[in-house]
């Protein structure tokens, strides 16, 4: 143990002693009530931890998702102000941020891996100027791309060698649709 860990241990020991002293003084002669109160707070903390841990699973049920009909796709605006689309690519689903300011479909390294591309072995011959600076890109081809009932084959995409939170759906793909944005909805149709 180094000095920093020892000082933290001493601090936590003093904090525990102070809280324990307060509990003994406050609940003198009423230890049953003290245990009930401690148990209630313990359950509250466990509930909050469980909610936080399950948030990724719960979030997809709470957040609005795209609605697909035979002739159009309706996408609600997410809480962060953006639109997101989930595309099927070779039997896998990838969530894209709709980016009308991007020229191309850009895959993050993680999404490229999900689709069977190995980012470490791709040839990064291209460059893209992004808000985060210049990044290297590798061209790939996406087969069997579906959005609802609409299907396309052989869509060009670029794997970004930089750090990205998710993939971007740019105009190379979006130009295939008529796009209408009204208030908090984006409607795609062909």
Average pLDDT over residues 179-190: 91
Average pLDDT over residues 157-164: 90
Average pLDDT over residues 2-30: 87
Bridge partner list, 84: 97
User: What is the pLDDT confidence band of residue 165, given thresholds at 50, 70 and 90?
Assistant: confident
pTM metric for this prediction: 0.65
Q: What are 49-82's pLDDT values in tens digits?
A: 887 777 666 555 555 577 777 788 999 988 888 9
Q: What are 70-113's pLDDT values in tens digits?
A: 788 999 988 888 999 999 999 999 999 999 888 899 999 999 99
CB neighbour list of residue 162: distance below 8 Å, 6 or more residues apart: 130, 132, 133, 135, 136
Q: What are 111-145's pLDDT values in tens digits?
A: 999 999 999 999 999 888 877 788 899 999 999 99
Cα torsion 114, 115, 119, 121: sign: positive
């Amino acid at each position: 143990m180094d000095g920093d860990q020892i000082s933290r241990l001493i601090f936590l020991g003093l904090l525990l002693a102070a809280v324990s002293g307060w509990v003994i003084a406050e609940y003198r002669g009423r230890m049953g009530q003290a245990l009930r109160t401690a148990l209630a707070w313990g359950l509250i903390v466990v509930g909050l931890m469980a909610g936080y841990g399950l948030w990724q699973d719960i979030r997809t049920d709470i957040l609005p998702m795209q609605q697909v009909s035979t002739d159009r796709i309706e996408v609600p605006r997410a809480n962060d102000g953006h639109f997101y689309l989930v595309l099927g690519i070779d039997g896998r689903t990838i969530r894209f941020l709709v980016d009308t300011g991007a020229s191309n479909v850009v895959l993050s390294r993680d999404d490229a891996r999900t689709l069977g591309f190995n980012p470490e072995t791709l040839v990064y011959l291209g460059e893209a100027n992004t808000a985060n600076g210049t990044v290297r890109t590798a061209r790939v081809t996406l087969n069997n791309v579906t959005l609802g009932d609409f299907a396309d084959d052989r869509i060009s995409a670029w794997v970004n060698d930089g750090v990205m939170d998710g993939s971007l759906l740019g105009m190379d793909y979006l130009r295939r649709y008529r796009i209408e944005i009204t208030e908090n909805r984006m409607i795609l149709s062909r």
